[in-house]
Structure 1
Amino acid sequence: MKLTDILTQLCKSRGTSGDEDAPIKAAIELSGLPGRRDTLGNGIVFLGDPHAKEQVLLDAHMDQVGLIVTGIDEEGFLHIDRCGGADRRVLPGCPVTVFGKEPLFGVIGNLPPHLSDGKSDAVPAITKMTVDLGLPSENVKSLVTPGDRVIPQYQPQKLLKSRFASAALDNRAGAAILIRCIHLLKEETLSCGISVLFSTREEIGGQGAVTGAFGLSPTRAICVDVSFGDQPGVREEVSLPLGKGVMIGVAPVLDRSMYQELASLAEKRNIPYKWDVMGGDTGTNSDAIATTQSGVHTALLSVPLRYMHTACEVVDTDDLENAAQLMAAYLREVK
């Protein structure tokens, strides 16, 4: 299956933090392996040797940023807050889907610039924004309940050559890499066991990775996520141009021998890469996984992404293929 097809199916399956059932179900089906769910809703599939000394955890989080309904006023407007790290700058005037008793079309209201008292550049807090469903209050209250999720409307779209645009590529791109890696390895005889964790709740604290890794007790782990792609305003030293390869994480919490081995394998196989250096935590599930139980040797692979936490994130599928090939090469060496 092509990576664009995998991405399309994953991104069409909407799911914010704590509500990831649809994308996790899609990921397990796309893996072609039997899977299970745990208490926090993580999806888990296995391959390789379950009795091997080395048990490797592969992780990608499945939640996308969105919004949550906090209340309904007497005029029928929905009051909202973040569910994950939604970027408020792109929300005013945005069409959304409200996942109530049935999916409902709405728009996030925006004050006309004529009435903004000269403050048209100011973006209100998300808690000051409202969603307009165009329905009377009594209809809204019969269809929507506080706690229902709201997601900006989007359509996954293949761009020219190997570029792909959609919301939720943070981190369905990581999930697609894991699925592609599974496809590369599942017919091979491996000397390690592999647990693939499609984890929940990363955008609100990584609780899925915390409990998932604890329950699986890996000896080492590779977390896959997105990092910053090249775009105007993003510094070169913290980004990588799309189509230029994989970003290998370097941070105090990450295992030096693992990231050095990944870089060595990348060089041997002519896989382009760049060091992604962080002086503190990584801001990914790697931080939680590395400190599970008595500690887990952990590495981080990322692919560059433009316009993070918006409804039009962009990746290059060549980078995803390179990441999957590098991970597969590493796993073949684990004994």
Structure 2
Amino acid sequence: MEELEQLIFRLCSAPGTPGGESPAAEAAAAELSGLAKVQTDRMGNLTAEFGNPDAREHVLLDAHLDQIGLIVTGIDENGFLKIGRCGGTDARVLPGGAVTVYGAETLCGVVCCTPPHLQEGGEDKVEPVDKMAVDVGLSHDEAEKLVRPGDRVLFRTNPKRLLGTRVSAAGLDNRAGVAVFCRCAQILKQEKLNCKVTVLFSAQEETGGAGAKTGAFAARPTQAIAVDVSFAKQPGVPDVNLGSLGGGPMIGIAPVLSRSMTDRLIGLAEEKKMPWTREIMGGGTGTNSDEIATTGSGVPTALISVPLRYMHTPAEVIDLKDIENTAQLIAAYLREVG
């Protein structure tokens, strides 16, 4: 698992907020460059192709590349940076947090935090993100030289190894999915497939799924599998429809998803005696699979999720065994297509 851990760490160390995925795309391209034909498009998507280019069946494998973050909206008279959400950032984890500001120079900052003694609402009060600010230690004039509205801000944290096969990092949503497809390409490197495969590391999922919409339209696949993260069991959360760390891939069941593809993935997991769980959704999935399935005249689509704790925080947690099992499951599926 050490190589898989290092893959995850490399991917999570590259910044990539919605609309600013270039560094993350470069990191992913480096992992796939020896395994597939890689290119980027105008939306910021990264695509990689392998398998049989002339095959009748064309499978799209999608994982979104972007991560939640913040965007600079202004600079006040004292040099503090005004901020807004860039994706679904959780306001509860921001105050007092260390961040990196990607301006003309890369700056260290801290999200301003009012001591609880001075808060009218006490310790439980959390300001909206657009009422928060980032302190980079500069005056107004100094800050204006290095930072401008539109620059991005991310949690300042390093990936960490936990006990066993678990790791923690910011951005595992969804670099975990990116790692799954990198690992899948490694597994299939020496194999001859009867289908064409396009890997789509899509942009801007956290702000609406624009990359998946345009990427799927351009690829024109005959079927697709999306990989994202979903909720794992943790303290304080009811154990209903949740995955478990180390419990294997979560195979999605929803109206928008292809039942036949889902059933075959479940069958393969059973045949391989692989741990897995169902994830039941009565409407949309909240992932790129919704956009892909309704692209063009429709694309049969399946969804597999990697169990993850503490989503949209600086310390998301996954189990590497779930990355490996998900990659092995998709590889087994691709061997049968065509």
Which TM-score tier does this pair reach, normalised by the shorter chain? over 0.9
1:101-130: per-residue Cα shift (whole Å, max 9, x none)?
Answer: 010011111111111124321100000000
Residue 226 of structure 1 aligns with which residue?
229
Aligned residues: 335
Match for residue 313 of structure 1 among 304, 313, 316: 316
Q: Deviations over 1:26-56 (max 9, x none)?
A: 1121022331011101000100011111000
Contact 2:177-2:228 at 8 Å conserved across structures? yes
Q: Secondary structure at the match of 1:223?
A: strand
Query: Which residues of 2 match residues 151-230 of structure 1 at below 5 A?
Result: 151-230=154-233
Cα distance between partner residues in 1 of 2:257 and 2:318 = 25
Alignment of 1:235 onto 2:238: yes
2:73 to 52, 70, 74: 70
Q: Which residue of 2 aligns with 1:49?
A: 52
Q: Structure 1 regions of 5+ residues with no counterpart?
A: none
1:11 touches 1:169 (CA, 8 Å); kept in 2? Answer: yes
- Deviation beyond 3 Å, 4+ runs, structure 1: none
Equivalent runs, 1:92-131 vs 2, <5 Å = 92-131=95-134
8 Å contact from structure 2 (residues 310, 316) kept in 1: yes
Alpha-carbon distance between aligned partners in 2 of 1:187 and 1:235, rounded to the nearest angstrom: 44
CA deviation map 1:193-228 (0-9, x unaligned)? 000001100000000000000000000000000000
Q: Is the 8 A contact 2:37 2:50 kept in 1?
A: no
Other-structure match for 2:90: 87
Given that residues 60 and 225 in structure 1 are in contact (C-alpha distance below 8 angstroms), is that contact kept between their aligned partners in structure 2? Answer: yes
Kept in 2: contact 1:77–1:137 (CA 8 A): yes
Given the alignment, which residue of 288, 292, 296 partners 1:293?
296
What is the one-letter code of the residue matched to 1:171?
A: N
**Amino acid of the structure 1 residue aligned with 2:50:** L
Does 1:24 find its partner at 2:25? yes
- Quick check: 1:152–1:311 contact (8 Å CA) kept in 2? yes
- Report if the CA contact (8 A) 1:59-1:224 is conserved: yes
- TM-score w.r.t. the length of structure 1 is 0.99
What is the identity, as a one-letter code, of the residue corresponding to 1:68? I
2:269–2:275: 8 Å Cα contact kept in structure 1? yes
CA contact (8 A) 2:241 2:278 kept: no
Residue 149 (structure 2) pairs with residue 146 (structure 1): yes
Is the 1:48–1:186 contact (alpha carbons within 8 Å) kept by the matching residues of 2?
Answer: no
Q: Is 1:322 the counterpart of 2:325 in the alignment?
A: yes
Note if contact 1:200-1:206 (Cα within 8 Å) is conserved in structure 2: yes
2:189 & 2:62 partners in 1: Cα distance? 17
SS in 1 for 2:240: helix
Q: Which amino acid aligns with 2:154?
A: I
**Distance (Å, rounded) in 2 between the aligned partners of 1:60 and 1:241:** 20
SS of the counterpart of 2:67?
Answer: coil
**Separation of aligned partners in 2, 1:25 and 1:275:** 33
Q: Please state whether the residue corresponding to 1:318 is helix, strand or coil.
A: helix
TM-score scaled by length of structure 2: 0.98
RMSD: 0.9
Please report how far the alpha carbon of residue 238 of structure 1 lies from its aligned counterpart in structure 2 after TM superposition: 2.1
Q: 1:300 Cα shift?
A: 0.3
User: Which residue in the other structure is 1:271 paired with?
Assistant: 274
Assess, with a 3 A threshold, how the Cα gap between structure 1 residues 57 and 118 changes in structure 2: closer, same or farther.
closer
Aligned residues of 2:203 and 2:210 also touching (Cα < 8 A): yes
Aligned to 2:336: 333
Percent of aligned positions that are identical: 55
AA aligned to 1:111 is T
1:258 alignment partner in structure 2: 261
* Residue in 1 that maps onto 2:15: 14
Residues of 1 paired with 2:166 and 2:291: CA distance? Answer: 31
